[in-house]
Amino acid sequence: MINFFRKNHSLIIIIFFAAVLFSLSLLDVVTPDRTYSDTENRQLSSAPKLTFKTLVDGKYSSDYEEYINDQFILRDFWIDVKSYTESLLGKTENNGIVYGKNGYMFEKYYSVSDRRIKNNLNFINQFTAEYAVDTTVVIVPNSYMILADKLPKGLENADQQPYIDEIYSSLDSAKGLDVAPVLSEHSDEYIYYRTDHHYTTYGAYLVYCEYMESIGEEPASLEAFTANEAADFYGTHFSKTKYHAADPDVITYYDIPGKEVTVNNQPVDGIYDTEKFSQRDKYAAFLHGNNSLTVICSAEEKQDPTRLLLIKDSFGNEIAPFLSASFDEVYIVDPRYTEIPVSSVMEEVEFDRVLILYNFMNFAQDTNVINITN
């Protein structure tokens, strides 16, 4: 028997690995596709539809490759293995995320789509031309622009400020509000999450204060609200890297009393889905996640209520509770979700002001801003 193994050593190894590959392939075929990765905190690709057009233009092959990568058997396990291996090898990045100082993670972002920015800017100008409402546009800088002292050496990301300045100078009737100075002033404080791409609740509060002061109103004091904390938050950057030595973040959220909330015209319990704070995707607790239309109203009826429309991406989720402390009614629209069109909201409700708020990187690539127009 020993002689047999010695003589057929190479053949046995080949048969073994072939059996492993065959077993994995078989499991890959019979295992149902997943729609969502809790580990990566994102939707997974589904099987693309084969058509003559997608086959000819190459879209089918690229979509199918993405589908295979997303649905590969034991995907979460292999992500963990990759993260640990690269960490042992001394790598300072993984899946487009680089490791900075003090536990901060940053996304690599080398190029900007001028065309997409121009298109989205045009959509904003179309909106303000169609609806004569006092409108302010805020483009929130991403963390790498503000936390320059925490960046790793050699990271040469695109400079966002010239683009933000160009956006503001190209607005027709809306006003641009540059929040980079106030965020930079507080850059030594906890204003961006370490493991996530969002600013923290305190960062959102600073932007809220800037907005209120820009319209001549006094912002609500942070001390007026009861603070709560949700520990062990691992955000989107961590989901891409699975970095084993990552420092978890803490989410602070504030009770805003006397509010009634609806999501897509259905009443919900409070501004926050507090159950989410005990789950993996804790950020989804704000505004009960991203939805087409969320409305926060004062429980006490007012004869002439002040109304604000917030058009936003996910960076608006943390600022919305503060805005609800300053306006009787806050309507919150996310153009990425179109169950309730912006046009129908504008036709049914008379607003005092509109705030359009996006983070720069999303504004520079989002294809859904068009949904704010007719």
**Which pLDDT belongs to residue 10?**
62
Residue 155 or 37, more confident:
155
Return the minimum-mean-pLDDT range out of 26-35, 150-159, 290-299.
26-35
Residue 304 confidence (pLDDT) above 60 = yes
**Contacts for 136 with CB less than 8 Å, ≥ 6 apart:** 174, 175, 176, 177, 211, 214, 215, 353, 354, 355, 356
Q: Across-strand partners of 312?
A: 357
Q: Which two tokens stand for residue 61?
A: 């092959």
Model confidence at 151: pLDDT above 70: yes
Residues 358 and 313: their CA atoms lie apart, in Å, by 5
Q: Is the pLDDT of residue 20 over 70?
A: no
Question: Residue 85 gets which letter from DSSP?
Answer: H
Can you tell me the mean pLDDT for 159-171?
Answer: 97
Q: Do residues 372 and 335 touch, judged by C-beta distance below 8 A? A: yes
CA distance 137 to 361: 15
pLDDT in tens, 208-235: 999 999 999 999 999 999 999 999 999 9
The CB-side HSE value for 199 (13 A sphere, CA atoms) comes to 34
Query: Long-range contacts for 87-95 (Cβ within 8 Å, ≥24 apart)?
Result: 87/243, 87/244, 87/245, 92/152, 94/240, 94/241, 94/242, 94/243, 95/240, 95/241
Rounded to 5 degrees, what angle do the CA atoms 40, 334, 205 make? 80
Closest CA to 125 of 175, 180, 178: 175
Cut 0.75: pTM above it: yes
pLDDT band for position 38 (cuts 50, 70, 90): low
Q: Is the pLDDT of residue 85 over 80?
A: no
Which pLDDT does position 76 carry in this prediction?
Answer: 63
* pLDDT tens column, 241-280: 888 889 999 999 999 999 999 999 999 999 999 999 999 8
- φ and ψ of 283, to 5 deg: -65, -25
Q: What is the pLDDT of residue 70?
A: 61
DSSP string, 198-263: SB-HHHHHHHHHHHHHHTT-PPPPGGGSEEEEEEEE--HHHHHH--TTPPPEEEEEEE--SEEEEE
pLDDT tens for residues 319-369?
999 999 999 999 999 999 988 899 999 999 999 999 999 999 999 999 999
User: Average pLDDT of the chain?
Assistant: 88
Percent of the chain with pLDDT over 90: 69
- Rounded to an integer, the average pLDDT of 29-56 is 66
In this prediction, residue 8 has a pLDDT band, given cuts at 50, 70 and 90, of low
Q: What is the pLDDT of residue 128?
A: 96
Q: In this predicted structure, which of 3-7, 291-295, 322-326 has the lowest mean pLDDT?
A: 3-7
d(CA 37, CA 362): 21
Nearest CA to 334 among 288, 368, 286?
Answer: 368
Asked if residue 127 has pLDDT above 60, the reply is yes
CA 276, CA 60: separation in Å to the nearest integer? 36
